[in-house]
Structure formats: structure tokens, C-alpha cells
């Protein structure tokens, strides 16, 4: 898959598969947004904790985001940043409820999820196993079928798990006239559903291949995880004419340091231990919504395993048709 014509060439430190995954995700996100799937004019629900946890500036911080700055945008990780827990775990619950797979496969999936939570790191073999097992579940199913089910699953399991504080941060960027994108290893369709429900601009997510609207069980590139997220943000910024030094990025995981380092305004949200340490070393802003209070440049240790949901596992059920 060749690089889109709008993307300027450069030397790339990421792997070829990371670059492919990022560029495919950016292209898919732009096509979805241009097709009118997003954004909504207003969010469906008003954040419940805007006054307590909202992004209003403190005396130590300049006014941010800057209203009217059309060269800026915001990029939000999904799992444990915007939403409590892993999107793909909730999606898996919904598929099991609809008898997409058997109890034995559910137990295997649950074990993989628990391993990621407890270990706090992402072992390549475990990630590959999770990805392969989940892709086998959706192989042969229609894209339209999984999209429709995704809407139902959002209502059943995800809607009540949105962090009000992070939602308020995203709304501040929207109110300032900026675009707001989710960036996640979750399937791009799943991520787009969540973005649309929250009134965001769109989503960058893992892109999977389909032929004639049927999933093949293969990914385009690799899961949108780690360096691939940074490649997706870079590609989208190039296509949208954004100045990354003016952009903001938000995440809970040290795996997203490449993405956070790409922008001029990185935020650690509900950070895991490694990200908290890195953020403090680099004087990044921190906010923790698990404790019910705002933490600006003050690290709050992550509860055991909470910040460690694997983006690679989230990519296991990638649901996007291959863009040609």
C-alpha cells in the first residue's frame, strides 16, 4: 500500500508496518469524517463533572486551548483516558452475548485481558495471540453487521464509562473551534462510533482488511499501537495542515509516549507509573480523574493494572475495510 499523495516523504524511525498502519488509519479517518459520519453538533450527554474536573486554566497555566487556532487539534487515547477500561473488552462481552464465540473462547479472551492488567507490560507473544484469536472470531462476518452491533454495544457497556473530566477537556477543544480525534488501537469502526456519540470529529484506529464487505482476518499493517499511533497522528496532521507544536495529545499509557512527544502540549491522564515518571521528568501536565481531583504537574500512582490495558489487545478485533 503506497503512501497517500498528500503525505510528504521523510525519514521514518518507525517500522514499515507501523508507518503503513498509521497512514491507513489517517486515510480512513479523513474519509469517514468527510463522508459526514462525524462530528455531531453537540454531545449526547453533558459532562457531569465539568466544574470540578474541567479544563479551566489555573494561575500557573496559560489559557489553553487557544480559541480560533485552526492549526491546532487534540488527540485523545481511548482506553483509561476517555473511557474506563478497554473498549475491546466491552466489545468482546457484547459479541459473546450475541453468540459470536463460545465460552472457551471467552475464557481465553478474559485471561489475555487479565494478563495485560496484572503484568502492566505488553509482551509481543501475548499480543499476537490475542490479536490472532480475536481476528479469527470476526473473519467472514460482514462489516455492516459489526458496525450495527457496535452501536448496540456502546449503549450497553460503554456509555456510562466515559470519564467526565476527560470529556470536559475534549469539549474545551471543540468549544475553541478545534478538531478532536480519538487515537486508539481499537477497531477504527468501534472508535468512530464512540467519537460520534461524544460529538468528536472522528477517530484513528486499527484498520483491518475486508473484501466485498467481508472481513478477511488480516490487518492493514499492524495494530495502531505505540509508534503506529504517532505515525497516524503525523499523517493526519500533514493531511489536515496542522502545526503539531500547537496540538495537544492525551493518554494514560507509557506506550503512547511517541504520540505525546509529537505534539507541543502533551498531557498524561490517569497515568501509569512509567508515564507518570516520564511526564514529571519532562514537565508535562498530569491530570488524574480516578481520585476525583485534578492533578496538574503532580503524579498520582496508577492503581494496580488500571493504566496498563494493552493497546495491542484492543487491536485484536480490527473492523475496518481496506481503503483503496
- The rounded percent of the chain whose pLDDT value lies above 70 is 65
Q: What percent of the chain has pLDDT over 90?
A: 38
What are the beta bridge partners of residue 183? 204
> For residue 298, what pLDDT is reported?
31
- Give me the pLDDT at residue 60, please: 53
Q: Which of 231, 271, 229, 237 is nearest to 251 (CA)?
A: 271
Q: Higher pLDDT residue, 29 or 296?
A: 29
**Cα–Cα dist 310/184, whole Å:** 10
As given in the structure block, the three cell numbers for residue 156 are: 450497553
Model confidence at 14, in pLDDT bands (50, 70, 90)? low
Q: For 222, phi and psi rounded to 5 degrees?
A: -145, 175
Residues 6+ apart with CB under 8 A from 155: none
**Residue 195 confidence (pLDDT):** 96
**H helical segments located in 244-310:** 257-262, 273-281
Helix segments in 98-142, DSSP class H? 103-119, 124-138
Sequence-ordered list of residues with C-beta below 8 angstroms from that of 305, at least 6 positions apart, any chain: 116, 117, 118, 120
- Run of H or E including 75: strand 73-76
pLDDT at 18: 76
Q: Give the pLDDT band (50/70/90) at residue 39.
A: very low
Residue 99 pLDDT class (50, 70, 90 cuts): confident
Domain range 16-34+64-102+131-288, CATH architecture = 3-Layer(aba) Sandwich (3.40)
pLDDT interval class at 9 (50, 70, 90): very low
Domain boundaries, the chain: 16-34+64-102+131-288, 290-323
SS3 83: strand
pLDDT tens, position by position, 179-234: 999 999 888 888 999 999 999 999 999 888 889 989 888 888 888 888 999 999 99
- Residue 212 main-chain phi, psi, to 5 deg: 55, 40
Enter the C-alpha cell of residue 44.
449526547
Specify the higher pLDDT residue, 36 or 269: 269
Would you tell me the crossing angle of helices 188-197 and 87-97 to the nearest 10 degrees? 100
| pLDDT band of 111, cuts 50, 70, 90 | low
| 67 secondary structure, DSSP code | T
Residue 143's alpha-carbon distances to 190, 215, 321, in angstroms, are 11, 7, 7
Mind telling me the catalytic residues?
77, 79
34 pLDDT above the threshold of 70: no
Most confident of 16-20, 36-40, 76-80, 308-312: 76-80
pTM, 2 dp: 0.72
- Nearest residue to 194 (alpha-carbon basis) of 236, 239, 160: 160
The rounded radius of gyration (Å) of the Cα atoms in the chain is 18
What would the pLDDT profile of 282-299 be if each residue is shown by its tens digit?
Answer: 999 999 988 644 433 333
The alpha-helical segments, DSSP class H, found in 156-287 are: 164-175, 188-197, 227-240, 257-262, 273-281
142 beta partners: 214
pLDDT at 54: 47
- How many CA atoms are closer than 13 Å to the CA of 208, on its beta-carbon side? 32
Amino acid at each position: 500500500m503506497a503512501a497517500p499523495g498528500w503525505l510528504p516523504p521523510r525519514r521514518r524511525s518507525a517500522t514499515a508496518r507501523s508507518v503503513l498502519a498509521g497512514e491507513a488509519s489517517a486515510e480512513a479517518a479523513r474519509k469517514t469524517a468527510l463522508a459526514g459520519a462525524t462530528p455531531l453538533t453537540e454531545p449526547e450527554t453533558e459532562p457531569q463533572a465539568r466544574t470540578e474536573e474541567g479544563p479551566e486554566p489555573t494561575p500557573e497555566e496559560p489559557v489553553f486551548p487557544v480559541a480560533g487556532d485552526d492549526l491546532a487539534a487534540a488527540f485523545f487515547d481511548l482506553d483509561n483516558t476517555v473511557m474506563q477500561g478497554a473498549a475491546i473488552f466491552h466489545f468482546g462481552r457484547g459479541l459473546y452475548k450475541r453468540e459470536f464465540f463460545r465460552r472457551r473462547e471467552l475464557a481465553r479472551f478474559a485471561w489475555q485481558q487479565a494478563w495485560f492488567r496484572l503484568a502492566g507490560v505488553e509482551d509481543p507473544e501475548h499480543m499476537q495471540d490475542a490479536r490472532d484469536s480475536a481476528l479469527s472470531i470476526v473473519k467472514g462476518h460482514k462489516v455492516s453487521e459489526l458496525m450495527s452491533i457496535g452501536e448496540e454495544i456502546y449503549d450497553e457497556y460503554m456509555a456510562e464509562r466515559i470519564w467526565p473530566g476527560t470529556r470536559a477537556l475534549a469539549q474545551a477543544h471543540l468549544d475553541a473551534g478545534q478538531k478532536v480525534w480519538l487515537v486508539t488501537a481499537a477497531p477504527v469502526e468501534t472508535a468512530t462510533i464512540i467519537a460520534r456519540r461524544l460529538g468528536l470529529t472522528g477517530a484513528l484506529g486499527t484498520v483491518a482488511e475486508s473484501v466485498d464487505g467481508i472481513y478477511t482476518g488480516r490487518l492493514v499493517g499492524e495494530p495502531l499501537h505505540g509508534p503506529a499511533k504517532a505515525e497516524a497522528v503525523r499523517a493526519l496532521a500533514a493531511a489536515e495542515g496542522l502545526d503539531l507544536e500547537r496540538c495537544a495529545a492525551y493518554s494514560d499509557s507509557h506506550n503512547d509516549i511517541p504520540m505525546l512527544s509529537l505534539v507541543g502540549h502533551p498531557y498524561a491522564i490517569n497515568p501509569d507509573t512509567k508515564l507518570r515518571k516520564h511526564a514529571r521528568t519532562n514537565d508535562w501536565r498530569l491530570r488524574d480523574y480516578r481520585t476525583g481531583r485534578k492533578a496538574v504537574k503532580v503524579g498520582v500512582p496508577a492503581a494496580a493494572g488500571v493504566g496498563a490495558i494493552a493497546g495491542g489487545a484492543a487491536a485484536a478485533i480490527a473492523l475496518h475495510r481496506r481503503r483503496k
